[in-house]
Structure formats: C-alpha cells, structure tokens
Structure 1
C-alpha cells in the first residue's frame, strides 16, 4: 500500500514567544509522518514589525514546496502576509488574531471588540488565568523562562490588502480564556466568512494538548488533500 506523501508544517509562534512554544507538537507531527519548521520571529528588535516577521518566515521556507502554515495567537497577523508571498497548501490559525487589511496590531484590539471583553493581563496571576489554564506548572515555568520581549511593530499597518488566495481554517480552543469561544466565532465569521473548527484546551493548547493539536492539524491537512485530489 502506498504511503500518502507528508507535508511540512511551518509553525509561527505568538506574541512574546519563540519556536520553543511548539516543541511538544513537533515530535507528534513527526510521528504522523510530517516534517516541521518552527520559526523564531525577530520580535525583540523595535525596528521590526509584521512585515519583518513575515520576511523571517518566508526566508525560512526557502526550498519548501507548498507547506502548511500554522500560526498561534499574535502569529495570526504574520501568517497571511507569508501566504501572500509564497505558495502554501493550507493556512491554519490556532486561536489566532485575524488582521483586517491595513489594520495595525494596536488597532486590532479595539477594531475586533476585544477591548470590550474586560480581560486583564497586567499581573502574573492574570496572565496565568488568561493564557495558561490547564497547562502543567513545570511547563508554565519553562514558558516564562523562554518568554521574549515583543518590542516593535505595534503601530505598523498590516501589509495585506486582501486575504491571500489560500485555503484557510481556524482552530478555536473551547477552554480559551484570552480569546473566548463566543468572541472567536463572531470574529471568524466576520473576517473570514467561515465556521471555526474546535478543539479542547486553553490559549496555550500547544503546551496543554500537543498530541491532540498535532492530530487535528494532520486531520485538517488530510481534509484539504481530499478536496484537491477528490
């Protein structure tokens, strides 16, 4: 029996994160027969913004044939820019921000209605409650140790003028306290015109349920392959 050809999942981390955020998901995708590429965005340089983050991902994708682009949280602002510049097979947004054309990261919070939710992340406890519910304490401590400063690009308009011509799926996390399900469903309908797929877990689902997340990413890719090949 012939083995279905695998793909490469290009993994884009969220705000203040790093490629480490995907370190538990990558081996699970490898076990499913895929290759992975987790990219460190140059977020610490205040001169960089979404356009420069996309530059880093595009450069890392050199030599790849139609990869699957996966973006978490703030990485959702970078992913469509990447997909406008390379040929991607599929774009998957994992509890991610969805930019409007020309919208800056600073404008996103008010433009989507997020600011009306009253979610506070000023203290460490508030960050734990919003981002890390369900994540084991040792992984939370490791995540804080790998945290980086998100220094630039807040007021830089999104380079996209229209959504890229690539199949797009959105993966909602049912237990997310930062981007709550009702907020996400409305946002996805308004900005993408689709119904999100769903998975158990909080905002940091890649640390909480890496095997389930990898399995869902594999499932979404296989569904896309079936649509294309019949």
Structure 2
C-alpha cells in the first residue's frame, strides 16, 4: 500500500502546447514517454490555420483541457510560449515549462517579438559561427537532427499558422506567479541557445536550463526532454 501511495504521489498531469501550426502530433513521442513513466499527458491541437481563431482561442482551448485540476504541468514549445502565460492567468497551473519557446512581454504580439528580442540577428550570427546556411529552410533549421522516418511522418501534420495570431497581444498584465522553467536546446538553430539564455534572463530573471537536441527536441530527443521535464516537479 505504501508503495502504491508513493507512486501515485509522483504522478502528474502534463498538458503540452505546440508551436506554430498547432499540431499536437509534434508532442507524440513525449506523450508516450510520459505515459510510460506513469504520468498523464495530453497534447492540445490548436486551430493554427484558422484566420478566425487566435491567441485568446488557443488559451481557452488549453484552459479547457486543464479545467480545475491543480498541479498541472504546462509545457509550451516555440510560439506556444505566447499561449502559455495566458492559460496560467485563466486556470491553476502548478508549473510552466517553456521549451525552445518565445517569451512574451505583457501586451507584446508574436509579430513584434522577433524585432524586440533580436531573434533574427542571433539566428544569423549562429549560422555563421556554426557553418550552416543562413537562409531559412525546414531541413536546416527544424529537421537537421530529427530521425528521417519521423520527419517524413510529420509532413502529414504540417500546417500554416494564420496571420491573425501573429498580430494579437499576449493578454497578461504581468508574467504569472506560476513557477516557470526555461529549457533551451543546445542544438537549436532557430532560437540559438545563447539567445534563449539572454531572453530568459532579461524577461524572466531566470537561467535557462540546457537540453540536447534542436528546435524540435520533442521529436529528436524525447527521452532526454522527459528526463528534464520530470525533474523538480512541484
């Protein structure tokens, strides 16, 4: 009985927000790994291609999945970093984990974020230092470390991100009180790790933790990512 209680005490509910395009499929290796370790895990599909649905609707959809469950671990990737703090303002969240994510200021839009943070100069400088192409393409910046069979399967789940969300503000008055961690992949070419560290320090006052993998670390390094997700749970 004591052993059962200890196992149940370690169980958490993880809710996972995808980046641009809104495909929950992106998280499927992480969902499988979390469930194999005894946790609950739900990846949320978002209507990324719908011009009538934007950040408020994304936040509502994620909040509806969480409901009133206390202690939920909310994980957001890339553009999902804009939705995540809005969710934390709507429902109780035990821990927020940002994975290679955009970190917004209150009232900032995703379209403004790029220039405000200096994302593009950081990407170009990293490309020059790393010896890979500066012109953006999926293979170089997103799929360079993703196994070929997974990258091929992902083609069926790719979708555009409608312009509406890029022009909508992150509707928070301040960063939520929710405990927050930032995980930055050392091989991320889209948001280079040093850039992510700077943004985390400047905007959240915290130090980013590093993980292996590129921008799509959930596809290339799911076990290593889950190892870090389950550390220091509240």
TM over 0.5: yes
Change in Cα spacing, 1:196 to 1:118, as seen in structure 2 (3 Å) is closer
In the alignment, structure 2 segments of 5+ residues that lack a partner are 125-132
Query: Paired residue for 2:202?
Result: 190
Counterpart contact for 2:76–2:98, Cα < 8 Å: yes
1:117 matched residue in structure 2: 122
Q: Counterpart of 1:219?
A: 231
1:163-174 to structure 2, matched below 5 A, reads 163-174=175-186
Alignment match of 1:135 (pick from 146, 154, 159) = 146
User: How many pairs does the alignment contain?
Assistant: 220
Counterpart position of 2:57: 52
Which residue of 161, 167, 184 maps to 1:150?
161
Per the alignment, in what secondary structure is the counterpart of residue 3 of structure 1? helix
For 1:173 and 1:61, how far apart are their aligned partners in 2? 27
Does residue 199 in structure 1 map to residue 211 in structure 2?
Answer: yes
Q: Is the 8 A contact 2:21 2:46 kept in 1?
A: no
> Does the Cα contact within 8 Å between 2:77 and 2:99 map onto a contact in 1?
yes
TM-score, normalised to structure 2, is 0.89
Q: Map 1:90-129 onto structure 2 (within 5 A).
A: 90-117=95-122, 119=124, 126-129=137-140
> Deviations for 1:35-91, whole angstroms, at most 9, x for unmatched residues?
011101121211222111101101122253321100000101100100111111100
Q: Distance in 2 between matches of 1:53 and 1:3?
A: 35
Which residue among 18, 21, 27 is the counterpart of 1:16?
Answer: 21
- 1:228 aligns with none
- Which residue number corresponds to residue 39 of structure 1? 44
Can you give the 5+ residue segments of structure 1 that lack an aligned partner in the other structure? 226-230
- Give the direction of change, closer, same or farther, for the CA distance of 1:144–1:3 in structure 2 (3 Å limit): same
Provide the alpha-carbon RMSD of the alignment: 1.6
SS of equivalent residue, structure 1 residue 169: strand
Residue 35 of structure 2 corresponds to 30
TM-score, with length taken from structure 1: 0.91
Task: Give the C-alpha shift of residue 29 in structure 1.
Answer: 0.6
Partner SS state of residue 96, structure 2 = strand
